[in-house]
Structure formats: C-alpha cells, structure tokens
C-alpha cells in the first residue's frame, strides 16, 4: 500500500459501520479501510440479543454474523476489535486509537472518517453502581445477563425481574424473561406502554402483556432499592433479583463533541442528507446521528437498525464518489410479544397535537383476511392525516396477523408522498387467506375520502364526553347480539336496520352514532343525515372507545367497569 | 316514491354490483336502486368457493355474505334474484327483466344503469355436453360440485379429478381436491403453471404442487373423452371421474354488445376512467369490463375481485355526483397451495419481451426475516424495471412466508410511481421475526441501483448458454459447502474468499461469475472488476438457474440432471 492510498477509518463495527465498510470495499478495492470497535465483536445481531435470553434464538453463535478474520478474507477489511477511538485531530486528519486491553495508543491517518459508535443505554441515577442492573446493547451485555440468570437459577427457584422502561426493547426483554420462567414487572415512567403508539392503540397490547402474567407499573419510576427490592416513586416496594434498564439510549457523541463537530438539538451528531458532519471529511450514521424527520424537516433521534444499515451503505457510496442523498426519515418500528404485534410509522396523534398540528384521525378494526376464511384476526389500525394536504402523517397497528404488512404498505405510501385518499385505490394482493377484496389499507383510504369530502363526520373517543355534556344524543346502532361486549354509558340502542322506521324517536339536535367498529355507524350516519338529522360517527366505534377506557384503567391499575347490557338498552 | 325519483338499475349482485348498490344508498337515500341477479344468491364470496370443496371453509352458509332481505332492511335495496336482464332500450332508458323461473318479462325504467354481470367460464369444445365437466363461478356451481363429490364417494373409493387449466383458479381447485383425498391431475395447455409468473418463478411452485401428489400435464389440451377418461392432444388417456374447467373466463358482454355499447379489443365492455360505457348513462364494472393497463395505457382483461369491488364503489360516487376517476390497473394477484404462496403485480418478463420492450430484470432469494431468528423462509423475488425510466414494470414472488407483504409493498410503490431505485430507501418495519434491517424490498432497490449505475452487470439465466458458447469463462464462487446443492455444467470453482490470491488463474476475456443467490457473486464481480477483469454476475445465482432448468424439466416431464459435485470442482 502506498503512502497515497486513501484511508477510511470507521468507528463502530456493527450495523451502520459495517454496512459502510463492506460496501466501500465493493466499490473500491485499493482503499485502506480500518474498522475499530470498542467491544469484542463486530457485526453481531443487535436486534436478536433479547431472544437469546429465552432460548428462542438457541445458539449464541448465530448472533455473531461475522468475525474480523472472515471480514478480512472476504472484504480485505482491517477490523480491530477492543479498540477505542479516543481523539480526533481534524486539522491533521488523524485519529487516536487505544487498545482497550493494553492501553496502548496509536495515531492513524485518515482521508475520510465514519463515526458509527451507536448509543449508550440510560440507567436510572437512583441505581448507580447497583450490580443487579443490566442493559442490553451488545454481546458482552448479553453474556453478563446469561451469567446472572444461570447463577440465580442455581440459588433460587423463582426470580423476580424488573424491566425499567416499557418501550420496544423493554417489551422484548419482558417477553423473553417470561418465556424463561421469571416473574416480570415492567416499570414505566409514562402512563402507557409503547409510547410510539397513542394510548388507545397501546391498550390492547398492554392487556395482552398483562394476560401473560407480566405486571405493569405505569406512571412511576425507581427512586432507590436494597439488595432484594426496588423502591418506586409512589413509595411502593418491588421485589427485584434482576433489573433491566431499557429507558432509552443517548447518542455516543462524546468524541464528536470533543472534536468540535456540531451536535443536533437532541445530543446526536448533526449531519446533512449525505450523512456528512460539520466537517466534510467526517460522516456519522446510526444511533449516534440525528435524522431529519420526514414530516417536520427537523432533526430527530431515531435509533433504528434499518436506518443505520441503509445510511452506512449510503456513506460508502458518497465516499466512493457516487453520492446518493438519503430521504428524510419516517421512523417505522415494530415489536412482538407472544404472538401479538404492534407497529407504527411516522408521528402519533399525541405528538402531533403537542406540536400544535391539526390532524384528521381514523381508527378501524378490520380483519386480517376475509372473514369467511378460517383464521382471520382482528386488527386495530389508526391513520393520522394532515387535513390541509391529505398527506399521511402517521399510522399505528396492533394485531395477531398482518400488522407488518399494513404498516409497510402505509410507510411505502408515505415515502412516495401518496395522499391518504390514494390508499383506497392501491391494488393489493387478494385471495381470502391473505386479505380482503377491499383490504384494510383500502378501507383507510375510503374512511379518509369520506371525511375529506364531508360524506362522514366523526367524533374521537376523547371528544365524546364533551359532546354528551353539550347535550348530544348517543345512539348505539349495533346488532343486538353485539351488545354483550359492553355498552357506552348513556347510549340508546336502535339497530341500524330499524332506523328508517324509528328515526322519529330521535331528538332534535346533535346525534353521536356508534357501532362496534365504525362501519355500521357510517351507514346509520349517512341514512340519518339523508333524513335531515345532525349526526356524527364515533370514530372506531365501541372497540376504540373501550380500548381508550382500558388505557385509563390500566394506567390507574383498576379494571374498567361498564354497565351490563341489561337495563341500558331499550 | 314519485315518478321523478331517479332509478338506478344494477345488473349483477355480487362484487362490483353490490359495492355500487350499497355505496349508492349511503350517498343517496331517495334514489330507487334495483339490483338484478340471474343466480339465486347475491353478495356471495366468489373467492371462497374453492375452499368449501375441501371443507377448509366448513360452512356453505358462511360464503353467503348477504341476503336480499337483509340488504332490503339495511340499505333499502330492491334486490331481485333469479332475474335476468335480457334487453336494453337505450333511447327509452328501459331494461327488460325476465323472471328466470316463470319467464315473465317486465320493462324497468332507469336513469343510470350499472352492468356488472361478471364473466362466463370457458369450457373445452371437445367436452361439450359432458356432464362430468364442472366450472366454479357461483354457489349453484359449488352445489353441483359438492353433489358430484358426495355421489362419487358413495360409488367408489378413489376419484380421479382432472383440472383443466393451471392458472390461479385451477391451482386453488387442485389444492382443495387433493385435500379432499382425490387423485388430481392438472392439464395445462401452456408450458408452465401460473402464466402470470415467468417460467423460472413458476417452477418452485410447480415442484411443490408435484410434491403434494398432483400430476401435471403441461403443453397439452383435451381433445375428447369417454365416460371414464379424457384424451389429450398428445394421444395420452387420463382417467377422469370428475373434470373441472378452469381455462379462463370471457366477459359476459353479450347484452352490452346487443345494446350497441362499444366493446374493447378483448371482448369486454369498453369504459373510461369513470367506468362509463360508450353510453354515458350506462356504467360497467368487474369482469365484464376491460381495464386500462397502468404500464401500457391499453385496455386489458383483469378479472380480479379487488378491482371489481373498488370500481363498483367508484361508480356509485360518480352517479351520486362526486366522480372519482379510478387509476389505471396493475393487476396484482396471489395464490396459495398448501403453505406455498405465489403472487405477482404488473407485467412479467415474457409478456414485456413479447411486447418488444427492453427490460432490466433482477432475481433474488432473500429470507423472509432475519436468518438468525427461527422460522425464516427463503423467498424468490423477481423485479422487472424499465431501464430508461427506472419505473417498475412488474414483480413476482414465491415462498412460504412474507410473499404477500413484499408484493403489496412493490404494488404500492408502482401505484405511487416510485422508481425501482427508491425501493432501497423504504422504511419498512424491522424486528428479526418480521424482516431484515435491509428488507428484501430494499435489496431489490440496491440491486437495481447497482445495475442502473453500472456498478454491477448481470447476465440472465437464459443468456448463459450463448455467453458460454462465445467463450465466456464460468466461475462459481460459492462456499465449498454450498456445492452439494448442485453445479452449473462447465463452472470452475474458486470461493470468493480466495479470489484475491487466485484471480491470476482466471483467463483473459469475459468471466461469468455466480454464487448461490447472486450476493457473493456481486462481491466477487466487484472485486474482479476492480482488478481489471471483464466480468458479469449471473442474476439470481445458482438457484434461479436451477429453477429455470426445473421449469424445462417439469415441462418435459423428466427430472433435471446436473453433474454431481465430484469432478467438476477444482
């Protein structure tokens, strides 16, 4: 290698860093490519780590996707594990690398530098120095967890595990700890699980988590603990043999900051659409870098593996001279828990309202495939639209089957700038075991068109109380057999089939009509409007209302109570 | 109802017709809406019919989604079953309706008329009048089939069923007949099953069908038969207790033609983007109408339930005064056979080449989700792109899991006009049980970008022979452990990891490099090209080549033979 051979140093040898390294080698055989990784392993399956805890992924080795030797052989990469980047001299274009084992430091020249060190998991200050507290970011973390679990099994039959944080990682940890037979409690500072979802969407997921035996403690945080327990902010005490901290991560941007690179508003490295930092010779990708949000155009932290991998590859293209700007990020994510799936893309209603944006919101509860074909499962889907532009701002879905497909289709539509109404016309693959002739995504498009055209006017679950207080009349048009599921207090029941004959029984003034999922009520609302009534449809019907009630009940740790069918119908 | 009440008559009470009727009522309470249906049932689940044959859908009743009485009650529709439309007086705006049972004819005034009578299944002329021959379009057909099957069970233990036609319906019928315990042969005039797929994509599906015990007779048609058998065009005789004709359908456009409405080039009713026929008071939707193709802009027959349903609804909007043009049609379709799924959207390579279009073709064989998470299944995906515009022209996928999701995402991208390269950047939901950080759809985008940018040059399986004949050198770079799967004759084996040291062993001139699926060969091709060699990558690798060989072998009804690993490696 001559002295003039260009050198790219990549800090971080997992998702973003390794994508950059291998792609760069494919584009450029001559360049010297050095990958430094502080840990012992490169290119491991971060997202698979929780599943080894339960043995779902039985072999630890299967999480190690590459070795430095294999990467040297196939891609001629100079991969240095247990090597830390400790200083960057931007003027001299050198980086100081420290051998973690020996402490020896060397200076390495670079032409381009890619920073992909990831993020550092947060741990609660109240438990500083507590040896029970685990995080799970890398293979070393996993090894420590497996060791603790093995040790506890020998010492005691029952183990109490507390997972701090009810986000995607916390839920995945809880799933795998339960599968291992531990007694698990999730402690979540916020009022709900899975904060990317809105409360009423997270509720059925939380119910499922509760049904599997996991305890939820919402709205509290850890304030301290002794050897066998944790104390929470409400004064309660929780037995705790093992503690897992999954309360978010912070970008590992210390080295970048010390080197004078610009950071974004959330502490991540600020980059442009080519992932260039404020120094054009230095790039940053993955959890350390802030992403540009597709809806707001603002920087945002989105620690997602997909973005890290794709952005790493994009950086290689840019370094090799074929710059491809990355599009702005939506933030699509998915989580499973014992057969139930929740996924989201874009922003949720809570966040958008907090931003002061006006939103058009639709809830639906379609079947995953044609109802007459066995195995159809109910989905709950929420679509959030900018009413001015008809642009899709976000979507959420929960269910046992077909959640990933619908969120992927909507995320694709969002990436492409399709309007919400255009979802109605998508030609999705239909046979009865896969979908419906009008797929759930098509139905969202129809709901949106009806709303945009004024064909349907709706009320959200959180607007119901105020409407009733203002004297609106609540009309339940479900089939009589559906009432056993529960009732919304104060509703009068007239099945949709009887409305033409009985609509004169309705009072003047506003009528809020609801059915089970919103579809029958749409028919009823259209009928009543055509007959001269002032009517709005309760969006998502009884099921969305019930899910919202459940979210409150779960938060308040008390069962929801609704009147029994007897006595409330007429 | 006053004499001035507008009247809409809808001919055909299933997918398109009933979607139009119910939507129209929701938009307009006053209008008289008459739905006439020649059969006994309206709004039945056409696409579910084959699954009752096996009992997968156990209850016949669950296929009957609505009754005339229920539709009258909920939507105030005047539904007349066993009523045939026999003549249209366009000048007078009247339609003659005949009661099928009594023969009584009445004249009905209309303001708007919607024609949705569907299509008529083709049957082979050679079997005219043969009582064994069944078609399956409606509930009456299903009842006849169930009766025949029950009768045969009583008479004989083994039944020989012959399915004429190896398209989606034929395959569904075969699946359900096998599940019922019948001995099944599919007779297909063309050289492959599932003509919407290209031959190499259909081959793994055909293999799966063969493995389930179904016999395939490709490239032949029925020329006659006696009471217990059928004679085929190659002179062979097939035992046949029951015969099912699934050799396509023709639009039931007779009434339209007699009424002077313009037909399209394929015999369906010609309509505009609002589904208006050549008479602006008359609309046509569903299998009777020709669709405008998204890629060519030309009329095309696409008898698909999704289009029928959505176009029916669109017609109601137009009649009610809120016209919404329907986009051009892609033709997305899917079929399952005992756990294996095949789906397609847009055009296939065979059709595009026949149209004289130049195409960029990519094959890939990714896993349905992260390989380290249990249960990952291999998919085969094919993407076809217009090299000039980078527009996606079509896609096909076959596999046990995740086929519907990937085709839906690609169909959405096509509808939105996304370029093939933009597939690389889609933010699809990733956790290891659902996908990969670089999803199979993202990978297609990368393949396309590499091809578009000239970073990768490929050869299709059908171009290999000519390349080798011209003196190209075939290089197999798979890992040694992968060779047992089979070899391409004439290949020299050097694993990709040894190429840097051994590339001087390669001859001057063109090198065709291949691996198992195309990815390792891409790395090898990049490496060799960077070292100065003239190299192309065999698209889709060994697996696509093998599937193509299998397609020939299945067609020729002989097993494929490839050299054993011994002797061909070096």
**What residues does A361 pair with on adjacent strands?**
A384
Q: How distant, in Å, are the alpha carbons of A348, A439, A508, B201 from that of A455?
A: 25, 21, 20, 45
Alpha carbons A494 and A568: distance in angstroms, whole number: 12
Which residue from A minimizes the CA distance to B57? A373
Going by pLDDT thresholds of 50, 70 and 90, the confidence category of residue B227 is confident
pLDDT score of A567 more than 60: no
Alpha carbons A9 and B529: distance in angstroms, whole number: 24
Residue A5 forms contact with B (CB below 8 Å): no
Please check whether residue B458 is in contact with residue B538, taking contact to mean a CB–CB distance below 8 angstroms. yes
Per-residue pLDDT of A299-331, as tens digits, reads: 999 999 999 999 999 999 999 999 989 999 999
Residue B173 forms contact with A (CB below 8 Å): no
Q: Which chain B positions have a beta carbon within 8 Å of A494's beta carbon? A: none
pLDDT score of B1 more than 70: no
Residue B457 forms contact with A (CB below 8 Å): no
Say yes or no for a CB contact (<8 Å) between A306 and B427: yes
Closest Cα in chain B, distance from residue A95 (Å)? 28
Alpha carbons A532 and B29: distance in angstroms, whole number: 11
**What integer is the mean pLDDT of A164-184?**
96
Task: Give me the residue from B345, B409, B531 closest to A409, CB to CB.
Answer: B409
Alpha carbons A520 and B560: distance in angstroms, whole number: 56
Per-residue pLDDT of A99-132, as tens digits, reads: 999 999 999 999 999 999 999 999 999 999 998 9
Task: Give me the residue from B307, B327, B496 closest to A74, CB to CB.
Answer: B496
Residue A51 forms contact with B (CB below 8 Å): yes
Lowest mean pLDDT among A562-566, B62-66, B381-385, B456-460: A562-566
Residue B333 forms contact with A (CB below 8 Å): yes
pLDDT score of B238 more than 80: yes
Q: How distant, in Å, are the alpha carbons of B56, B148, B160 from that of B152?
A: 20, 6, 10
Say yes or no for a CB contact (<8 Å) between B415 and A430: no
Q: Which residue, B401, B394, B408, is CA-closest to B380?
A: B401
pLDDT score of A231 more than 80: yes
Task: Give me the residue from A73, A404, A442 closest to B434, CB to CB.
Answer: A404
pLDDT score of A499 more than 70: yes
Q: Which chain A positions have a beta carbon within 8 Å of B116's beta carbon? A: none
- Check A47, A126, A370, A527 and give the catalytic one: A47
User: Chain A 126-165, CB below 8 Å of chain B: which residues?
Assistant: none
Q: What is the DSSP string of A205-230?
A: HHHHHHHTT-EEEES--EEEEETTEE
- Check B47, B57, B323, B452 and give the catalytic one: B47
Q: Which of B371, B427, B498 to mutate to test the interface with A (most CBs of A within 10 A)?
A: B427
Task: Give me the residue from A343, A424, A427 closest to B411, CB to CB.
Answer: A427
Give kind and range of the element (H or E) at residue B342.
strand B340-346
pLDDT score of A570 more than 50: no
Alpha carbons B238 and A135: distance in angstroms, whole number: 67
Alpha carbons A23 and A434: distance in angstroms, whole number: 36
Q: How many CB pairs under 8 A join A and B?
A: 252
Say yes or no for a CB contact (<8 Å) between B332 and A427: yes
Going by pLDDT thresholds of 50, 70 and 90, the confidence category of residue B568 is very low
Please check whether residue B492 is in contact with residue B475, taking contact to mean a CB–CB distance below 8 angstroms. yes
pLDDT score of B99 more than 90: yes
pLDDT score of B561 more than 60: no
Contacts 24+ apart (CB under 8 A), B86-91: B86/B255, B87/B255, B87/B258, B87/B259, B88/B113, B88/B255, B88/B258, B88/B259, B88/B282, B90/B259, B90/B260, B90/B279, B90/B281, B90/B282
Q: Which chain A positions have a beta carbon within 8 Å of B30's beta carbon? A: 530
Other CB atoms within 10 A of residue A162 CB: 29
Say yes or no for a CB contact (<8 Å) between B523 and A446: no
Residue B5 forms contact with A (CB below 8 Å): no
Q: Where are the beta strands (DSSP E) in B100-214?
A: 105-109, 112-115, 119-121, 133-134, 160-164, 183-188
Higher pLDDT, B528 or A567: B528
Residue burial A215-239, b: 16+ Cβ < 10 Å; e: rest: bbbbbebbeebeeebbbbeeeeebe
Task: Give me the residue from B305, B411, B416 closest to A437, CB to CB.
Answer: B305
| β-pairing verdict for A237-239 and B291-292 | unpaired
Alpha carbons A261 and A415: distance in angstroms, whole number: 30
Say yes or no for a CB contact (<8 Å) between B306 and A427: yes
Contacts of A433 (CB under 8 A, 6+ apart): A369, A370, A373, A375, B336
Q: What is the three-class DSSP state of A183?
A: strand
Residue B298 forms contact with A (CB below 8 Å): no
Residue A62 forms contact with B (CB below 8 Å): yes
Per-residue pLDDT of B442-477, as tens digits, reads: 999 999 999 999 999 999 999 999 999 999 999 999
Q: What is the DSSP string of A378-444?
A: BEEEEEEE-TTT-BEEEEEEEESSSHHHHHHHHHHHHHTT-BTGGGGG------TTT--SS-HHHHH
Per-residue pLDDT of B512-533, as tens digits, reads: 999 999 999 999 999 999 999 9
Report the pLDDT value the prediction gives residue A159, as an integer from 0 to 100: 87
Say yes or no for a CB contact (<8 Å) between A425 and B28: no
Please check whether residue A210 is in contact with residue A554, taking contact to mean a CB–CB distance below 8 angstroms. yes
Q: Which chain A positions have a beta carbon within 8 Å of B431's beta carbon? A: 47, 168, 172, 333-336
pLDDT score of A352 more than 80: yes
pLDDT score of A339 more than 60: yes
Scan for tokens 């065709």, then name that residue.
B512
Q: What is the three-class DSSP state of A12?
A: coil
Please check whether residue A26 is in contact with residue A52, taking contact to mean a CB–CB distance below 8 angstroms. no
The maximal CA–CA distance of chain B, rounded, in angstroms, is 92
Report the pLDDT value the prediction gives residue A4, as an integer from 0 to 100: 87
Residue B358 forms contact with A (CB below 8 Å): no
Say yes or no for a CB contact (<8 Å) between A372 and B426: no
Let me know if A47 is a catalytic residue.
yes
Q: How distant, in Å, are the alpha carbons of A376, A379, A406, B208 from that of A366?
A: 10, 6, 11, 32
Closest Cα in chain A, distance from residue B148 (Å)? 23
Per-residue pLDDT of A423-447, as tens digits, reads: 999 999 999 999 999 999 999 999 9
Q: What is the three-class DSSP state of A567?
A: coil
Per-residue pLDDT of B268-283, as tens digits, reads: 999 999 999 999 999 9
Q: Which chain B positions have a beta carbon within 8 Å of A530's beta carbon? A: 28-30
Going by pLDDT thresholds of 50, 70 and 90, the confidence category of residue B394 is very high
Going by pLDDT thresholds of 50, 70 and 90, the confidence category of residue A562 is very low
pLDDT score of A62 more than 90: yes
| β-pairing verdict for B83-89 and B94-99 | antiparallel
Put simply, whether the predicted model's pTM sits higher than 0.80 gets the answer yes
**What integer is the mean pLDDT of B130-159?**
85
Scan for tokens 């289709």, then name that residue.
A409
Say yes or no for a CB contact (<8 Å) between B334 and A429: yes
Report the pLDDT value the prediction gives residue B557, as an integer from 0 to 100: 73
Q: Which residue, A197, A548, A201, is CA-closest to A348?
A: A197
Q: Give the strands of the sheet with B392-399, arranged side by side.
A: B333-337, B340-346, B392-399, B379-385, B360-364
Please check whether residue A154 is in contact with residue A56, taking contact to mean a CB–CB distance below 8 angstroms. no
Report the pLDDT value the prediction gives residue A153, as an integer from 0 to 100: 58
Q: What is the DSSP string of A34-51?
A: EEEESSS-SSB-GGGHHH
Contacts of A454 (CB under 8 A, 6+ apart): none
Q: Which chain B positions have a beta carbon within 8 Å of A372's beta carbon? A: 45, 48, 57, 62-63, 65
Residue A65 forms contact with B (CB below 8 Å): yes
What whole-number percentage of chain A has pLDDT above 90?
94
Task: Give me the residue from A19, A45, A345 closest to B372, CB to CB.
Answer: A45
Give kind and range of the element (H or E) at residue B237.
strand B237-239
Going by pLDDT thresholds of 50, 70 and 90, the confidence category of residue B2 is confident
Residue A400 forms contact with B (CB below 8 Å): no
Report the pLDDT value the prediction gives residue A155, as an integer from 0 to 100: 62
Q: What is the mean pLDDT of chain A?
A: 95
Say yes or no for a CB contact (<8 Å) between A453 and B327: no
Please check whether residue B392 is in contact with residue B346, taking contact to mean a CB–CB distance below 8 angstroms. yes
Task: Give me the residue from A28, A47, A326 closest to B425, CB to CB.
Answer: A326
Please check whether residue B547 is in contact with residue B460, taking contact to mean a CB–CB distance below 8 angstroms. no
Which residue from A minimizes the CA distance to B519? A26
Please check whether residue A224 is in contact with residue A126, taking contact to mean a CB–CB distance below 8 angstroms. yes
Domains annotated for chain B, with CATH where assigned, are: 7-119+250-319 (3.50.50.60), 125-247 (3.50.50.60), 339-453 (3.50.50.60), 458-556 (3.40.250.10)
Please check whether residue B517 is in contact with residue B365, taking contact to mean a CB–CB distance below 8 angstroms. yes
**What residues does A9 pair with on adjacent strands?**
A34, A113
Say yes or no for a CB contact (<8 Å) between A429 and B336: no
pLDDT score of B558 more than 50: no
Report the pLDDT value the prediction gives residue B158, as an integer from 0 to 100: 57
Alpha carbons A439 and A367: distance in angstroms, whole number: 9
The maximal CA–CA distance of chain A, rounded, in angstroms, is 92
pLDDT score of B189 more than 90: yes
Contacts of A372 (CB under 8 A, 6+ apart): A432, B45, B48, B57, B62, B63, B65
Alpha carbons B111 and B8: distance in angstroms, whole number: 6
Say yes or no for a CB contact (<8 Å) between B425 and A404: no
Residue B274 forms contact with A (CB below 8 Å): no
Alpha carbons B361 and A142: distance in angstroms, whole number: 42
Scan for tokens 């339940």, then name that residue.
A476
Say yes or no for a CB contact (<8 Å) between B334 and A47: no
Say yes or no for a CB contact (<8 Å) between B411 and A426: yes
Say yes or no for a CB contact (<8 Å) between A313 and B446: yes
Say yes or no for a CB contact (<8 Å) between A429 and B322: no
Residue A457 forms contact with B (CB below 8 Å): no
Task: Give me the residue from A308, A310, A429 closest to B408, CB to CB.
Answer: A429
Report the pLDDT value the prediction gives residue B4, as an integer from 0 to 100: 87
Closest Cα in chain A, distance from residue B145 (Å)? 19
Per-residue pLDDT of A505-532, as tens digits, reads: 999 999 999 999 999 999 999 999 999 9
**What residues does B224 pair with on adjacent strands?**
B231
Alpha carbons B215 and B166: distance in angstroms, whole number: 11
Closest Cα in chain B, distance from residue A472 (Å)? 23
- Print the SS3 string covering A146-175: HHHHHHHHHHCCCCEEEEECCCHHHHHHHH
Report the pLDDT value the prediction gives residue B155, as an integer from 0 to 100: 62
pLDDT score of B156 more than 80: no
User: Chain B 513-542, CB below 8 Å of chain A: which residues?
Assistant: 522-523, 526-527, 530-531
Higher pLDDT, A559 or B39: B39
Q: Give the strands of the sheet with A215-218, arranged side by side.
A: A133-134, A242-245, A160-164, A183-188, A215-218
């Amino acid at each position: 290698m001559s002295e003039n051979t260009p050198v790219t140093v990549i800090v971080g040898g997992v998702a973003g860093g390794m994508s950059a390294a291998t792609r760069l080698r494919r584009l450029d055989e001559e360049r010297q490519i050095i990958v430094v990784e502080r840990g012992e392993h490169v290119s491991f399956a971060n997202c698979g780590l929780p599943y080894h805890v339960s043995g779902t992924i039985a072999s630890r080795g299967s999480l190690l996707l590459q070795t430095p030797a294999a990467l040297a052989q196939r891609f001629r990469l100079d991969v240095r594990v247990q090597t830390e980047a400790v200083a960057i001299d931007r003027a001299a274009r050198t980086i100081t690398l420290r051998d973690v084992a020996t402490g020896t430091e060397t200076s390495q020249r670079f032409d381009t530098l890619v920073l992909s060190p990831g993020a550092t998991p947060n741990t609660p200050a109240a438990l500083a120095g507590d040896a029970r507290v685990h995080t799970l970011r890398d293979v070393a973390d996993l090894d420590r967890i497996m060791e603790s679990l093995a040790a506890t099994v020998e010492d005691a039959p029952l183990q109490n595990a507390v997972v701090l944080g009810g986000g995607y990682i916390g839920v995945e940890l809880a799933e795998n700890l339960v599968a291992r037979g531990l007694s698990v409690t999730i402690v979540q500072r916020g009022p709900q699980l899975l904060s990317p979802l809105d409360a009423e969407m997270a509720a059925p997921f939380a119910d499922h988590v509760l049904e599997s035996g996991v305890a939820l403690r919402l709205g509290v945080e850890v304030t301290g603990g002794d050897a066998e327990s944790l104390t929470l902010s409400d004064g309660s005490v929780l037995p705790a043999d093992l503690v897992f901290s999954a309360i978010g991560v912070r970008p590992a941007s210390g080295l970048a900051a010390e080197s004078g690179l610009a950071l974004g508003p959330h502490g991540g490295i600020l980059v442009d659409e080519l992932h260039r930092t404020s120094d054009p010779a230095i790039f940053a990708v993955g959890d350390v870098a802030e992403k540009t949000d597709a809806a707001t155009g603002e920087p945002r932290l989105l620690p997602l593996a997909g973005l890290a991998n794709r952005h790493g590859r994009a950086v290689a293209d840019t370094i090799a001279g074929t710059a491809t700007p990355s599009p702005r990020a939506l933030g699509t994510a998915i989580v499973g828990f014992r057969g139930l799936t929740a996924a989201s893309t874009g922003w949720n209603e809570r966040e958008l309202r907090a931003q002061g944006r006006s939103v058009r919101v639709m809830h639906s509860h379609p079947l995953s495939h044609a109802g007459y074909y066995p195995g159809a499962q109910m989905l709950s889907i929420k679509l959030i639209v900018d009413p001015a532009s008809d642009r899709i701002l976000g979507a959420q879905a929960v269910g046992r089957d077909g959640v990933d497909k619908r969120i992927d289709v909507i995320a694709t539509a969002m990436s492409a700038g399709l309007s919400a109404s255009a979802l109605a016309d998508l030609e999705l693959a239909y046979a009865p075991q896969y979908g419906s002739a009008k797929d759930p995504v098509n139905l969202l498009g129809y709901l949106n068109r009806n709303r945009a055209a004024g064909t349907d006017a709706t009320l959200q679950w959180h607007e119901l109380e105020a409407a009733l207080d203002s004297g609106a009349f609540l009309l339940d048009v479900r089939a009589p057999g559906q009432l056993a599921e529960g009732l919304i207090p104060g509703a009068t029941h007239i099945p949709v089939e009887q409305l033409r004959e009985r609509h004169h029984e309705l009072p003047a003034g506003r009528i809020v009509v609801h059915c089970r999922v919103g579809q029958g009520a749409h028919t009823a609302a259209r009928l009543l409007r055509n007959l001269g009534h002032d009517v709005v449809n309760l969006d998502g019907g009884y099921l969305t209302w019930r899910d919202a009630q459940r979210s409150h009940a779960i938060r308040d740790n008390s069962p929801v109570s609704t009147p029994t069918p007897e006595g409330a119908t007429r």
